[in-house]
Amino acid sequence: MRTASLGEDVGILRSEGFAALVESVASEAAARATVAEAVEHAASLAGRVPVEIGLRALTRPEEHLFAAARAARAELRAEPGSGERLVLTRTGRARLLFGDQENSDQENSDQENDDQENDGHPVGYVHWPNGRPTGLAAELARLSTRDFDEAVDIRDWLAGLPRTRVDAMIEKIRFSLLHMAPVQLYTGTAHYGNLGKSSNLVGKSVRPDSDRCRLKSLAETEITDWDVRDACFLACLHALISSGPAVRAEEFSGTQLRPDRLLAFLRRKIDDYRVGRPPIDGLPTGQALQLLAETCAEGRATATAAGARPYRVIQGLNLNKRETLAHDPVTIADVPTAVVRAAARELDCPIPADFAELRTAFEAAMPALNGSGADGFSTRFEQVLHELVMVGTEAIGSDVGMSRGPRRIGELAAMVAADSPEAMEWTTTAFYCCVTPSRGFVEHFAAAADELPQVLRAISARMRYNGWHYLPHTIGMHERADERDWFFAPTMSDLTDWSDQHHTGHVANGVRYAIRVPFGVAMAGEHRPGMFDFRLMRAFGEPYTLDDLRAGTAVGELLRCLYQARVDAFADGAADPGILDFDNPWYQARYSSTLATAR
């Protein structure tokens, strides 16, 4: 929902934000008649997250309690019943609490990473129509003990390793979390995350030397003194980020990261990669996880080298990001017809039959594209780029489209070729983002025309920051970045639902549904990942589909041909005029209230 109306000071696109959404969902869940209905409403955040993903945040005992409540058609009431109760935590996790659950599976009940009912919204109490099922309490206790014993075994396995190896595991996790988007993970009753006020892991909110960071505490403590949940979490997360790119941690975001789930996940991935599973029978769980992770990483590398294309579907509310491999290549036939025709029109060439033909056309046109532009554009390149992004935005039914990159690509290429880290001193002004609003999006600002350029400037500024943020990893100099902030350069296309609740810029500017297509170019003899991208967003309407993602990925490939031709032109010695447009004054002039409807 949108809480602001046209013309309000908070902005016509601003969403309610995550905290308000969770509180609202908890109230809605409290009005449900049965426990099962309430749990599903809360776990899915009122249908905004697939319910099967939301339910994965339940602990093993909570899963059993939920199944029992469903089978008995247990009722949800406001007054206390037999003791079991439902809460929705501030991190958006549905919990079915029972008796002494919070203390039954932990050694240190005062640990700060517990995600208990006092950090959330009470929803209601469980009432059993025919009394509590026989043996329920005993089964919940057994499952809690099973989790505890499993975690103890993993802690014992870690304690048997050389301390230097465990410290290396901690450091690998710390390094990964510092250079990727936030995650929210659960191991048993404990919460681990680096998003906002609830953070207890290193990230934007918690520095590596902060006492709030659990990794710092573990590095300074004897393993035999660790909380068993911390030990279980550490072993599982290390295996997870070792099974592929570091961002694989996000595949468990918003869910339970526990050994049985991770073992099954790694086996499925290995099968998807079409490689053989390693024998793990009889191995300690920690060792089995590590062995499966190594096989998984090798299988993924083999599959992608053979042409498989990974993409991700992202749940913006709980940050869950599921990777899938597509084995059918994207071709020029997947590019929306209007975009292909726009490219041919701008290049004054026949409709290209494939991307290779399109690339040749861009190369032939490049000298002219570096000449003067018209209609408010400094060069023809900027004019053509804007046209292609704008047509792609409309063709894929989006409110806004965009594409970012470095302003002085010739200068950057020379620095990279000379192995000079000078570009890491660049500021965000050394990057641009071409942002194109659709006609329908512009019309939404009819009663608040002054806000349109503000929104476009804000989007452009954030994308310029992203270009700056990825640069060290993009050009392969991240190991020399010292204290400079940077993230791993993105390599996978993705589709996101409900992304307008956490990220400050997304909340303010209504980025509810999004498609991101990052791509690299060949520069100075190597592939430079994530240097450019094509992005789409919808502030209103329906979520994007996988067909939309495929079309967006194809437009991204078309733009990659354009950018690669530009990189190659300057590598051959052509003078680089730079990208001069797409800064704040440019957006203000082009989309001011007097021009907004006449562009």
CATH of the domain at 520: 3.30.450
What is the per-residue pLDDT for 573? Answer: 81
CA atoms within 13 A on the CB side of 568: 16
pLDDT band at 594 (very low <50, low <70, confident <90, very high): very low
pLDDT band at 100 (very low <50, low <70, confident <90, very high): low
What is the per-residue pLDDT for 482? Answer: 82
Q: Are residues 115 and 72 in the same domain?
A: yes
Q: Are residues 254 and 218 in the same domain?
A: yes
Position with higher pLDDT, 17 vs 353: 353
Q: Total domain count for the chain?
A: 3
Beta strands 309-315 and 493-497, pairing class: parallel
Phi-psi region of 374 (alpha: psi -120 to 50; beta: other; left: phi over 0): beta
Where in the sequence is the domain holding 33, given as residue range(s)? 18-147
Measure the CA–CA gap between 517 and 396, rounded to whole angstroms. Answer: 13
Position with higher pLDDT, 401 vs 101: 401
Q: Which of 317, 334, 363 is the last residue of a domain?
A: 317
Q: 344 Cβ partners below 8 Å, 6+ apart?
A: 350, 351, 352, 361
Measure the CA–CA gap between 358 and 347, rounded to whole angstroms. Answer: 10
pLDDT (tens digit, 9 = 90+) per residue, 507-523? Answer: 555 678 999 999 999 99
Average pLDDT of the chain, as a whole number = 91
Per-residue pLDDT at 449 exceeds 90: no
- The amino acid sitting at 102 is E
Q: Report if residue 433 sits inside a domain.
A: yes
Q: Phi and psi at residue 388, in whole multiples of 5°?
A: -65, -40
What is the per-residue pLDDT for 4? Answer: 34
- The amino acid sitting at 191 is H
What is the per-residue pLDDT for 509? Answer: 54
Q: 440 Cβ partners below 8 Å, 6+ apart?
A: 399
Q: Report if residue 595 sits inside a domain.
A: no
Q: Are residues 484 and 442 in the same domain?
A: yes
What is the per-residue pLDDT for 108? Answer: 43
pLDDT band at 5 (very low <50, low <70, confident <90, very high): very low
Q: Are residues 420 and 303 in the same domain?
A: no
What is the per-residue pLDDT for 513? Answer: 93
Q: Report if residue 2 sits inside a domain.
A: no
* Mean pLDDT of the 365-384 span: 96
Rg (CA), the chain: 26
Q: Are residues 399 and 440 in the same domain?
A: yes
Q: Are residues 182 and 132 in the same domain?
A: no
* Mean pLDDT of the 1-17 span: 48
Helix axes 546-571, 409-417, angle to 10 degrees: 70
Q: Are residues 401 and 254 in the same domain?
A: no
Per-residue pLDDT at 163 exceeds 60: yes
**Beta pairing partners, 431:** 406
Q: Are residues 279 and 309 in the same domain?
A: yes
Q: Report if residue 325 sits inside a domain.
A: no
pLDDT (tens digit, 9 = 90+) per residue, 24-74? Answer: 999 999 999 999 999 999 999 999 999 999 999 999 999 999 999 999 999
What is the per-residue pLDDT for 598? Answer: 43
* Mean pLDDT of the 365-390 span: 96
Q: Which of 147, 178, 205 is the last residue of a domain?
A: 147
Residue 272 in tokens = 């998807």
* Mean pLDDT of the 124-147 span: 96
Q: Report if residue 573 sits inside a domain.
A: yes
Nearest-5° angle of CA 572, CA 578, CA 581?
150
Contact 315, 53 (CB under 8 A): yes
**Beta pairing partners, 378:** none
pLDDT (tens digit, 9 = 90+) per residue, 522-571? Answer: 999 999 999 999 999 998 889 999 999 999 999 999 999 999 999 999 98
Q: Are residues 534 and 402 in the same domain?
A: yes
Q: Which of 147, 182, 216 is the last residue of a domain?
A: 147
pLDDT band at 492 (very low <50, low <70, confident <90, very high): very high
Q: Report if residue 599 sits inside a domain.
A: no
Confirm whether pTM is higher than 0.85. yes
- The amino acid sitting at 338 is A
Measure the CA–CA gap between 466 and 527, rounded to whole angstroms. Answer: 19
Q: 321 Cβ partners below 8 Å, 6+ apart?
A: 247, 250, 251, 253, 312, 313, 314, 315, 494
Q: Are residues 488 and 424 in the same domain?
A: yes
What is the per-residue pLDDT for 447? Answer: 81
* Mean pLDDT of the 193-213 span: 92
| Residue indicated by tokens 């240190």 | 108
Position with higher pLDDT, 304 vs 197: 304
CA atoms within 13 A on the CB side of 219: 18
Q: Are residues 159 and 138 in the same domain?
A: no
Q: Report if residue 299 sits inside a domain.
A: yes
To which H or E segment does residue 155 belong? helix 136-159
Q: Report if residue 338 sits inside a domain.
A: no
Per-residue pLDDT at 505 exceeds 90: no
Contact 26, 38 (CB under 8 A): no
Q: 319 Cβ partners below 8 Å, 6+ apart?
A: 181, 182, 183, 184, 195, 250, 253, 254, 502
Q: Are residues 306 and 380 in the same domain?
A: no
Contact 267, 277 (CB under 8 A): yes
What is the per-residue pLDDT for 12? Answer: 62
Measure the CA–CA gap between 571 and 439, rounded to whole angstroms. Answer: 38
To which H or E segment does residue 558 belong? helix 546-571
pLDDT band at 14 (very low <50, low <70, confident <90, very high): low
Contact 415, 377 (CB under 8 A): no
DSSP E strands in 431-577: the ranges are 431-437, 493-497, 513-523, 526-538
